[in-house]
């Protein structure tokens, strides 16, 4: 796959990014069927396949169980082969999520992610919103703390995995990139994508295949075509632990982009 610019960050990402929640967490998730967390061999093989297929973007989070730690242990090749996106703000413990957007937690979370991922820098760090996007951006110290960490060289670009139109528009103004929801059944955040394109900000799309609820090859193709018809989209994140699904998704996205 040909890499695409992530806005004006200078970072190049594959149009398909691998979501890794299933590497470390199978509680309180919204997928249509239950699944078992894969063993190390299966994760290692899936990551190697991802690299072979041209994927360089990996999406993880502290709230994804031990996903970060497993990536730090199992990612193949050079660190520079990968663009790693992680998050701050959500903590998942004992089967429940809680949120902390304080300066102290934000810094500690980034430092912990660096240790778990066995790296001295993070490419992308996103605020893991619980839905109160504007309040988080305007009243919590998390964004200022991430800016400081960026100045210290511990991360390359900052953004938010937002949940509201108003919040997403503010993210476009204040951050380097936004992660927004877009799919065939939900297009309310299209103004966020347009604003990001106009401002030269990066766009990562989440839930493009409706968290696994979209069925059939034709549906996947239609959804990918719809997403990449939108302005400014750099990559869509798709979580899978199934090699066949990964291959078919890459084939589909290559077919969609070949026609553009």
In the annotation, is 64 catalytic? yes
Which two structure tokens, joined as six digits, stand for 139? 């009243």
Which two structure tokens, joined as six digits, stand for 73? 């242990």
3-class SS of residue 206? strand
Which two structure tokens, joined as six digits, stand for 204? 């990562």
3-class SS of residue 224? helix
Place of tokens 């890459």: 250
Which two structure tokens, joined as six digits, stand for 129? 């919103």
Whole-angstrom distance, CA of residue 140 vs CA of residue 134: 10
Q: Which of 31, 64, 121, 186 is catalytic?
A: 64
Q: Is 187 exposed, middle or buried (0-12, 13-18, 19+ CB in 10 A)?
A: middle
Query: Measured at the alpha carbon of residue 120, what is the angle toward residues 116 and 126, in degrees to the nearest 5?
Result: 70
Place of tokens 């996903």: 67
Whole-angstrom distance, CA of residue 1 vs CA of residue 15: 7
Residue 206's φ and ψ, nearest 5 degrees, are: -110, 155
Q: Catalytic amino acids?
A: 64
């Amino acid at each position: 796959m040909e890499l695409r610019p992530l806005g004006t960050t200078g970072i190049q990402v594959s149009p398909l990014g691998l979501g890794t929640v299933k590497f470390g967490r199978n509680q309180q998730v919204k997928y249509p069927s239950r699944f078992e967390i894969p063993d190390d061999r299966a994760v290692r093989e899936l990551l190697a396949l991802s690299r072979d297929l041209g994927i360089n973007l990996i999406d993880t989070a502290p709230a994804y169980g031990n996903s970060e730690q497993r990536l730090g242990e199992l990612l193949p090749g050079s660190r520079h082969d990968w663009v790693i996106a992680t998050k701050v703000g959500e903590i998942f413990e004992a089967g429940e999520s809680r949120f902390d957007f304080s300066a102290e937690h934000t810094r500690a979370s980034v430092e912990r992610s660096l240790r778990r991922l066995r790296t001295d820098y993070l490419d992308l760090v996103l605020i893991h919103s619980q839905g109160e996007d504007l309040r988080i951006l305007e009243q919590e110290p998390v964004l200022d703390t991430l800016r400081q960490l960026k100045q210290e060289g511990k991360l390359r670009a900052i953004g938010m995995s937002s949940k509201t139109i108003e919040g997403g528009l503010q993210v476009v103004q204040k951050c380097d990139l936004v992660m927004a929801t877009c799919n065939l059944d939900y297009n309310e955040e299209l103004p966020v994508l347009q604003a990001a394109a106009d401002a030269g900000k990066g766009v990562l799309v989440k839930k493009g295949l409706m968290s696994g609820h979209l069925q059939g090859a034709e549906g996947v193709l239609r959804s990918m075509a719809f997403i990449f018809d939108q302005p400014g989209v750099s990559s869509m994140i798709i979580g899978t632990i199934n090699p066949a699904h990964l291959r078919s998704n890459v084939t589909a996205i290559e077919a969609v982009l070949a026609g553009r």
